[in-house]
Amino acid sequence: MSDGPRDDYLWDPKSPPDPDVVRLEEALAGHRWKERPLRSLDRPRRWRIAAAAAALLVAVGTGWWQLGRGSGAPGPGFHVEDLRGEAGIVAAGGGLCEGGDRIQAGDTVRCGPGGMARLRVGPIGLIELEEKSALRIEEGAAESYRVYLERGGLVASIFAAPRVFQVGTPSGIAVDLGCVYRTLVDEEGRTTLAVLSGRVSFEVPGRRVLVPADASCRAYPGRGPGLPVWGDAPEGFAAAVERLDEGPDPGALAKVLEAARPKDSLTLWHLLEHADAEVRRAAFVRLSQFAAPPEDLREEAADRDALERWRDRLERFW
């Protein structure tokens, strides 16, 4: 019998390693999962991600435990897992739903002060609806789950192919790309989205904003999503971004450009679609210091395909 390396190395670390396995591990070392601490947001009137994460860990853990109690895989559609306090289901026709856990398109889940609701989203995840919230069911088919958050907050924990689950709001649509995130709609329809894992695309016709884990963005009725910002952004960075969301602001632009780290290229890349040409040019120049743009990309003519390729180069910082 040979004394050379054997497959035992895969099961017993004390065994001689196979050279091919060692080479493979070295090649993949840079892709190992690294835990990143949740950081609070430094943005006016925004909740803290850390607080949401603490509640989320309890909600998701409890929810998935409940999800696994039944026999067999859950079917499509939305199902009520739990209603507590001042919470109930209003049918499309206006009456209260009674009996059964299945809720249909057109039904609305309402939670008053102190109320909460947990909904199972077919076999792909859970929604935790917070107090003082209203969530309308729009579609619950096997390949398309859509809800509309009229007001209040929810935490969505979805594990499905991209774009299968979507949350509409008065400020745009949060398109799930396989993630856990919190969405909050205030009384004026303004929406704040904070992503805890994975990524979300916040969309309105003609504009998409990518929000990865540990980042957030605000969106506004009639205007759509603003710029995404990391939770650990430099002091004053998020406030300056808010001013840029409202329109050209030389002081805010100077602050953003000066304080931007390589990872803040996430924010600057989205500035390339700003309505003001001076803002776009300044962002182009600053981004070029982090990663060279594709040769066919020019400041004056922002080709979407070229912009996506430039984003691919910048994403190593994200």
Residues near 209 by beta carbon (within 8 Å), at least 6 away in sequence = 201, 202, 203, 217, 224, 225, 226, 227, 228, 270
Read off the tokens for 199: 């990524």
Q: What integer pLDDT is reported at residue 16 of this predicted model?
A: 63
The amino acid that residue 2 corresponds to is: S
Q: What integer pLDDT is reported at residue 17 of this predicted model?
A: 62
For 38-232, which CATH class?
A: mainly beta
- At which residue do the structure tokens 């994403």 appear? 315
Per the DSSP assignment, residues forming a β-bridge with 301 are 298
Q: For the whole model, what pTM was predicted?
A: 0.76
Q: How far apart are CA 145 and CA 167, in angstroms?
A: 9
Q: How far apart are CA 138 and CA 123, in angstroms?
A: 17
* Whether 196 contacts 56, CB under 8 Å: yes
Question: Mean pLDDT in each 10-residue stretch from start to end of the chain (318 residues)?
Answer: 47 56 52 39 42 45 44 76 92 65 89 96 96 95 93 96 96 94 97 96 94 96 96 95 92 97 97 91 95 83 82 94
- List pLDDT tens digits, range 256-283: 999 999 999 999 999 998 889 999 999 9
Domain boundaries, the chain: 38-232, 234-318
Q: What integer pLDDT is reported at residue 50 of this predicted model?
A: 41
